[in-house]
Amino acid sequence: MSAPTNRRTAGGSPRLAGDAPHLDGARLLDVLGEISRIGAQPGAGITRTGLGAEEAQARAYLAKRYRRDGLVARTDQAGNLIVRRRGADPARPVLLLGSHVDTVVRGGRLDGTYGVVAACEVVRTLARLESAPAYEPVAVAFSNEEGARFPYPFFGSLGLTGRLDLARAATTTDRDGTALPDALRTAGGDLDTVGAAAWPDGAIAGYLELHIEQGPVLADRDIPIGVVEAITGRTIIDITVHGVQGHAGTTPMSLRRDALVVAAQVVLAVERLATGRDLCAVSTVGCLDGEPNVTNVIPGTVRLTAEIRDGRPERLRAAERALVAELSALGPATGTRIDHDLRRVTRPTRTDHRLRAAVVAAADDLGLPHLEMFSGAGHDAQIVARSAPVGMVFVPSRDGVSHAPQEHTDDDLLVAGADTLLNAALRLVADRW
Ligand code: HGY
Ligand code: MN
Ligand code: MN
């Protein structure tokens, strides 16, 4: 077990009480440890971006490991890994458990991957415990949830639920110009036949995702289990500022149309949406690229992304409108042209009360304190929610840190979360909703 770095309830580790079944915690931690090597860079966390070689390697590792345990593992045309029990009735509606194994650039080892490994362990455990459940437990590792390299986040869950925009997928590239369809093919999928990855209506009876919280709420309150009530909505606005490239020594300040100076004003305008103006919960410019990016040249073009999030759709819309209005005014005022492309990535999403109840009952059976809470991070569960009832379980994140190499949750809390997933799944596959 790792050093006790998460703060705790009095009396030490979360207690596991009663007769509730447990999964093999040592195995869970072992698989997590092994998969964490894939894409790891010394001192720089893990870079295992979606639809890349490392994500494929992580899938291959899991497939091999769980085939050894007698499970069936395959990658679909959208690059999702699906792990199920051998010989299960293919017509049985599925209780889908999972998350993603791709990471952001220099990310942590738990975001997504923890939920996938726990899901695989639950399916492995249920292969022994359940002979003929009402719902078939199946684990999934969705591809490219983050969209860190190919800016098409939730690619895998959109593929599995039949909601991919094929035209957009066909024209998506990474920053080096590699086309998404080519990367997908290398990763074992195929955009031409990606429709075959879509599950028919009714095939998913419910979806349950275990994840680290990625924020400070549970750690601050020493509570081991979060029961997610709702998940934030998110809009991304791709912005390009077209100025005029020129000589940094000879062009008088009064004659410049410096794209980076204007982009700086956009950055502050985005920040103000959530701070001074309180129009949305959070707003971020996470990506900014200038051209030609040379010391003695006035920048001619700058591309940046604005990302805004809120739990209420009307606030998200108000923040979108406010930013678009600012961009429309800023171009003429600065002699630049500002283009934008607005994408509503996810809408605010509520979880299903029956799946929440199953998680609460599971945590109670295990003697684990729990808290109903909001998720400020986005999750594949939001995409699946358009097709089936969804639930989410959180465990604490040390200091609330995620999307960073320092991301950490103590081993005993990781095992407690996976046990909660197991016990909730046991209730659900037995149709105790
Ligand atoms: O960005 C998010 O909220 C998620 O981690 N993909
Ligand atoms: Mn993430
Ligand atoms: Mn995640």
Split into its structural domains, the chain has a count of 2
SS (H, E, C) 83-150: EECCCCCCCCCEEEEEEECCCCCCECCCCCHHHHHHHHHHHHHHHHHCCCCCCEEEEEEECCCCCCCC
Measured in angstroms, how far is the CA atom of residue 267 from the centroid of ligand 2? 22
- Residue ranges of the chain whose pLDDT lies below 70: 1-18, 129-131
- Is the residue at 3 inside a domain? no
12-65 residue pLDDT tens:
322 233 478 999 999 999 999 999 999 999 999 999 999 999 999 999 999 999
Question: Cβ contacts of residue 262 below 8 Å, gap of 6+?
Answer: 241, 243, 302, 330, 334, 336, 338
Residues 145 and 200 in one domain: yes
Q: Which helix (H) or strand (E) holds 416?
A: helix 411-429
pLDDT of residue 329: 98
CATH of the domain at 288: 3.30.70.360
Tokens of 120: 């695989």
CB distance 159 to 196 below 8 Å: no
Picking from 346, 374, 400, the residue at the C-terminal end of a domain is 346
In ligand 1, the atom with minimum distance to the C-alpha of 403 is: 5
Ligand 2: distance of its center to the CA of 129 in Å?
Answer: 32
Q: How far apart are CA 222 and CA 4, in angstroms?
A: 13
Task: State the residue for tokens 């699946």.
Answer: 384
Q: Is 145 touching ligand 1 by the criterion CB < 6 Å?
A: yes
71 with 178, same domain? yes
Is 342 in the same domain as 356? no
Task: Please indicate whether residue 215, judged by its CB atom, sits closer than 6 Å to ligand 1.
Answer: no
In a shared domain, residues 326 and 196: no
Is 18 inside any structural domain?
A: no
Q: Which domain holds residue 334?
A: 233-346
Tell whether 238 and 362 lie within a shared domain: no
Q: Specify whether 333 is located in the same domain as 360.
A: no
The residues near 296 (Cβ < 8 Å, ≥ 6 apart) are 247, 248, 249
Q: Is the CB of 203 under 6 A from ligand 1?
A: no
Residues 87 and 179 in one domain: yes
Q: Are residues 188 and 221 in the same domain?
A: yes
pLDDT of residue 207: 98
In the prediction, which pLDDT does 432 show?
A: 77
- Ligand 1 atom with minimal separation from the 376 CA: 3
Please tell me whether residues 78 and 221 are part of one structural domain. yes
pLDDT at 129: 64
Domain boundary among 346, 375, 406: 346
CA 263 / ligand 3 centre spacing (Å): 29
230-283 pLDDT, tens digit per residue, is 999 999 999 999 999 999 999 999 999 999 999 999 999 999 999 999 999 999
| Pairing label, strands 204-212, 94-100 | parallel
**CATH number, residue 72:** 3.40.630.10
Same-domain check for residues 107 and 219: yes
Please check whether residues 306 and 200 belong to one and the same domain.
no
Atom of ligand 1 at shortest range from CA of 232: 3
345 lines ligand 1 (CB under 6 A): no
Domain final residue pick, 321, 346, 371: 346
Q: What is the H or E stretch that residue 426 is in?
A: helix 411-429
Mean pLDDT for the chain overall = 94
Query: Quick one: which atom of ligand 1 is closest to the CA of 146?
Result: 6
Helix axes of 113-129 and 411-429: crossing angle, nearest 10 degrees = 50
| Burial class of residue 369 in the structure, from the number of CB atoms within 10 Å of its CB (0-12 exposed, 13-18 middle, 19+ buried) | middle
Residue 299's closest CA among 250, 338, 251, 248? 248
